[in-house]
Structure 1
Amino acid sequence: MKNKIKLYGFNNLTKTLSFNIYDVCYAKGEKEQKEYVDYIDEQYNSERLTNILCEVTNIIGAHVLNISKQDYDPQGASVTILISEDSIDEKILDNSCNGGKHILKPKTVLAHLDKSHVTVHTYPEYHPYNSIATFRVDIDVSTCGKVSPLNALDYLIGSFDSDIIAIDYRVRGFTRDVNGKKCFIDHEIRSIQDYIDEETLKKYDAMDMNVYQTNLFHTKMLIKDINLQNYLFKMDTNEFLPQERLSISNNLRKEMIEIFNGLNIYDK
């Protein structure tokens, strides 16, 4: 194993992990589609998202400084958490994060502590014609110092029904070693997939697009198998004839492929 780089002073590298996670569902009619959006809106409200992000902060070994959260009308939610690599004096903490995890009182937040953050935004919607509904979650984990957002990959994927996943990881800026030499990355990385559990990867088709010269890494993942029952909202597969089940499965797969490729492949 390669020895760690001994740095001079604070690690000034910024490491950012960006997620787009999509959940696809079949909601038969207009009533069911609206109920699906309401269901998602309730399931992933700002309170639950806050708990997820607090756990992410815990996994990567950072400390919560401040939380801002908002639910929207008619739907959607956003949460932003400022985090710090360094531990915080117990005297200036209260216990309002995730039922007991620490959060810094707002009056003690200093400008030099807001360089690291975790954010999440949700976007539920549905197709006007083919009864396909989608739920998108955008997550950004940006850190400076020694903490790495890559450690939270499996937890984030498992926290949502992830049919399509797009992940970006980038390292920006530079820091210096004890001899004054610039370091533009402080860890080895070949692919984002190396940081995802093998059992998780087996469920997806995955592809990479990396630019090693600029420390920019991108991975896209598409779920391999569709168990139709898991994609029906408030319905059972027995309610449909075999041909209908096949048509619904095909529409679900088409929606996933278009999102995965970022193209309207099946539009006539």
Structure 2
Amino acid sequence: MIQSVQRAAQILGVLGSGTPRLGVTEIADRVGLAKPTVHGLLRTLEAHELVAQDPDTGKYSLGPGVLQLGNAYLDGSELRARSLRWAESLAQRAGEAVWVATLSGSRVIVLHHVFRPDNTVQILEVGAAIPWHACALGRAIVAFLSEGQRDRALAGELVQLTGQTKTTRAALSPVLDQARRQGYAVEDQEATVGDAGIAAPIVAREGTVAGAIGVVGAADRLLADENRDDLVRLVTEAARAVSRDLGAGRGGVVLSALG
């Protein structure tokens, strides 16, 4: 790897980790580099609008160039493009918010978000990164990975987000086994207190898992006995439809699990 590019990527990763603005010293401490090195890299990134410096505090944040790159990524995502109409249909039929996501490292990235079709105030979550183990979308993807990929996912850092988050291999393995058997995954207040999710995997033409689609909303509503079965059916139907639009055939363990 080219060292300067790797260091610049580390800085962008730190600035995108959740803290709005960081000073040079804080960034240097987090990436383990000398302050002059970090300062030089920040100046270069700033020239390309990938970072921006606050004129009052001198601290740095991600710049508008990152947003342009993110939008270009979304525009070029076949998974997102193929899922648009099915996600909209699922939201209307289910009466719930719908997310489409793909796995990136230890997190799932939300590529598309259709609001719940009512008048409640909602926040657009496109671009949100959620630890895979704490959400139905991530579990739906990891459950259908190869054994080696699944082992690596379980061996990574499994952070605690709420009091109900499962963070051990012993707790998560049965959950993934069940998701693989059923063809869908469920999460109950493990990412956000009060919220739950139901998601199913989306398959690409080569038979690999490209991502997942699911409904997200209030746990007492999504997981209520009178709603859950219908939502599972709607979610798996949407996942099948997107998979077929991506060119997945009828064969394969994932589509077989989806019915």
Alignment TM-score, normalising by the size of structure 1: 0.31
**Which structure carries more helix by proportion?**
2
Greater RCO, 1 or 2 (C-alpha within 8 Å, sep 6+): 1
**Which structure carries more strand by proportion?**
1
Alignment TM-score, normalising by the size of structure 2: 0.32
